[in-house]
Amino acid sequence: MANYKLPISQINQLFKNKELKPSELYAETFERAAITESIIHGHLELFQEENLKKALNSDKRYEKGKNLGNLDGIPIAIKDNINISGYATTCSSKMLSNYISPYDATVITRLKNEGALFTGKTNLDEFAMGSSTENSAFGPTKNPWDTSRVPGGSSGGSAAVVSAGSAIASLGSDTGGSIRQPASFCGVVGFKPTYGTVSRFGLVAFASSLDQIGPITNHVEDARLIFNSMKGHDPSDATSLIESKAKQPKLKNAKIGIIKELMEDGISEDAKKEVHKVAKLLEAEGHEIVEVSLPLTKMSISIYYLIAPAECSANLSRFDGVRYGNRVSGSTSSEMMELTRANGFGPEVKKRILLGTYALSAGYYDAYYGQALKARSMMKKEFTDVYEDVDYLISPTTPSDPFKFGEKSDNQLEMYMSDLCTIPANLVGMPAISIPTGLSSQGLPLSVQIMSPSNTDNTLLDFSESLESLVAFSDKPVINGVVS
């Protein structure tokens, strides 16, 4: 196996044993980027030269028998809506095409403290609004498994570079499935932590009550390692949780609920088969499999597309040509703001801002946004009640395997349905993970999603690691004639 596909713990051991140097791994990773980037366009910017120097410093630490942490010398890609001091943070938007961040996001500070290196910034749907990475102002990212297909979104670049081998791991953000859905489409692991366990300080906000930073990796144990390096209370983030104890689900003889509503219309036969296949494997290990009903999951798309646009409308009001980003001149300040926003935002972002502004407007707030908040509370209670009876919930991660470019662009409802299975975890705030389990009838990746109650993240990761070993998914994409 190539070094960039090994678990981080094994790479770390190679460093300690002086069998591999961080600078050698970094060079190997960039050799992969030389093969893959012109094909998949996963990175918007590569930090090769400056980070090679940092890799050499990591070499010196290991030579002395010291290291800063388990991530010392590990190349990690960063979604381009997470701030790194001195580098561009564009959110794949013309609005921020010239913006250089003056500070580090909290997650970046914590990864730097562990000695992590950064390969560069990855492509995304503009301001994280999309499910295909077709909405980027800088062009789409392509799926390493089939370049005629999307890598998912909005963290499509982050998932694609891990799948292609041009990063050991990456960070994404997940508002309605934007880590898990592209991870599924690209055949890698995507983990969305409990809301508030990982600081959002330095993440450009889309929908503040839903956004969560998390890792995309080749192995579940890598997701755990990165999560534990990033998590913890942050006074700079008002939504950051102070760690609290929660009843943990069982690891042995667990009771696992298959969500009935996420196995019905709109879910492909291939996706359903993966869930049933995994359920049989778990049953053979002594776990109990039951069907559970969560009726409000059918309303999750409707709830989400009122709450998320409303919050995005408020968050993106700061991009007005005065304080941040690009500016288009006008004869008055109002005209300048109007021209700036018309020129700077793409069609999908404009659509969501208009929808959110309408939902928040006088006379409509109670009828739309207020009702959505009530329905969200009911959904949270529905999940809380189900977790009284089961330890974990299982569903497909995505309704189908990766779709082709342009296939859903003209049918927005179909595009939004791509996140049918992932949105509930964001509305409820619970942890959820996507694990690749097999290939569709077209030879493309499929995954299952496992969810557990809030604040049970590490237990969910432990359970997921055991499931990962049961499934033993080992297929890899072929890029430019080379297996990833």
Least confident of 266-270, 313-317, 432-436, 476-480: 476-480
Q: Per-residue pLDDT tens for 267-305?
A: 999 999 999 999 999 999 999 999 999 999 999 999 999
What structural domains and CATH numbers belong to the chain?
3-251+389-483 (3.90.1300.10)
Would you list the DSSP string of 411-427? -HHHHHGGGTTTHHHHH
Q: Per-residue pLDDT tens for 42-64?
A: 999 999 888 888 999 999 999 99
pLDDT bucket at 479, cuts 50 / 70 / 90:
confident
H/E element, 118: strand 117-122
Alpha-carbon distance of 395 to 313, in angstroms, equals: 31
Task: Quote the tokens at residue 438.
Answer: 């097999």
Q: Which residues contact 75 (CB under 8 A, 6 or more apart)?
A: 4, 25, 26, 29, 51, 117, 118, 119, 167, 168
The most confident of the ranges 51-60, 202-211, 319-328 is 202-211
Residues with a known catalytic role: 79, 154, 178
Beta strands 478-479 and 445-451, pairing class: unpaired
Looking at the chain, how many residues does it have?
484
Rounded to 5 degrees, what are φ and ψ at 158? -65, -40
Q: Per-residue pLDDT tens for 162-175?
A: 999 999 999 999 99
Alpha-carbon distance of 46 to 180, in angstroms, equals: 24
Q: What does the pLDDT read at residue 337?
A: 92
Cα dihedral 211/213/218/220 (nearest 10)? -90
Cis peptide before 334 (omega within 30 of 0): no
Sign, CA torsion 175/176/182/187: positive
Sign, CA torsion 224/174/181/168: negative
* Burial of residue 252, with CB atoms counted within 10 A of its CB: 0-12 exposed, 13-18 middle, 19 or more buried: exposed
Average pLDDT over residues 80-100: 97
pLDDT exceeds cutoff 80 at 484:
no
Residue in the block written with tokens 């591999």: 20
DSSP 3-state assignment of 166? Answer: coil
The alpha-helical segments, DSSP class H, found in 17-130 are 22-40, 48-63, 106-113
Residue in the block written with tokens 């918007």: 44
Q: Looking at residue 260, what DSSP letter applies? A: G
Tell me which residue of 69, 387, 151, 342 sits closest to 250, measured CA to CA: 387
